């Protein structure tokens, strides 16, 4: 048996508490379980029995929270893990919740990567897409595999359209061809296009303007 010496409400999740037994942190449980089990400071409890009950209850609540996280927008495994950690669920419950989401294909980093690339190709280059996905926790191998199948000509066409719009804005304020090219170059690089695509697109944009003139 052990004595409850402190019941502390968590700062980031008011529905959960940290339980201290004999002066030391033991584990976290829901405030509802505290009520159900009539747990109070100085109460004598069986720590193993309560721990087993808490682990089962923690997993169920963690799983419910995970499902709420993904119900509006598709997310990567890392994004779900980070949000569950912010809610101060224990790692064991988080691992089990992630396994559940994967089992029913509620999260799938491969599918997420495919859809993300398809959507973002209309506004950014492959380099920026890659770095963004890395920050979202997608492993480099998955990203590289999907980008390998990228239609390079389509990427150039999109980059050209983006550069053309930017060029039309720049030339209203700038007449120096060298400066215009420099601004276009920096702009396309910032959008995530590599140096090869950027150089080819700028040449094409400038040539089109000369031909039109």
- Write down the domain spans for the chain: 2-103, 109-148, 152-212
Residue written as token pair 């963690």: 62
Phi and psi at residue 121, to the nearest 5°: -60, -20
* Confidence label for 44 from pLDDT (cuts 50, 70 and 90): confident
Q: pLDDT tens across 137-184, in order?
A: 999 999 999 998 888 888 899 999 999 999 999 888 888 888 999 999
* Contact call for residues 16 and 30 (beta carbons, < 8 A): yes
Q: pLDDT tens across 50-108, in order?
A: 888 888 888 888 999 999 999 988 999 999 999 999 988 889 999 999 999 999 999 99
Higher-confidence residue of 208 and 115: namely 115
Residue 169 makes CB contacts below 8 A (sequence gap 6+) with none
The pLDDT, as a whole number, for residue 213 is: 37
Q: For the chain, what is the radius of gyration of the CA atoms?
A: 27
DSSP string, 5-38: EEEEE-SS-TTEEEEEETTEEEEEEEHHHHHHTT
Higher-confidence residue of 1 and 160: namely 160
CA angle 174/177/181 to nearest 5° reads: 95
| CATH no. of 2-103 | 1.10.10
């Amino acid at each position: 048996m052990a004595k409850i010496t402190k019941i502390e409400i968590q700062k980031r999740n008011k529905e959960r508490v940290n339980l201290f037994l004999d002066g030391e942190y033991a584990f976290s449980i829901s405030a509802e379980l505290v009520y159900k089990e009539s747990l109070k400071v100085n109460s004598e409890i069986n720590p193993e029995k309560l721990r087993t009950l808490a682990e089962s209850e923690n997993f169920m609540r963690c799983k419910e929270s995970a499902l709420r996280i993904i119900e509006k927008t598709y997310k990567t495994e890392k994004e779900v893990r980070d949000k569950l950690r912010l809610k101060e669920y224990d790692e064991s419950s988080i691992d089990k919740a992630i396994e559940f989401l994967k089992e029913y294909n509620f999260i799938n980093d491969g599918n997420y990567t495919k859809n993300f690339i398809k959507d973002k190709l209309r506004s950014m280059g492959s380099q920026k897409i890659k770095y963004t996905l890395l920050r979202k926790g997608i492993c480099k191998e998955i990203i590289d595999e999907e980008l390998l199948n990228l239609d390079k000509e389509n990427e150039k066409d999109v980059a050209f359209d983006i550069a053309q719009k930017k060029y039309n804005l720049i030339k209203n304020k700038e007449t120096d061809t060298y400066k215009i090219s420099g601004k276009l170059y920096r702009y396309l690089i910032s959008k995530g296009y590599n140096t090869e695509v950027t150089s080819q697109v700028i040449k094409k944009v400038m040539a089109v303007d000369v031909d039109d003139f």
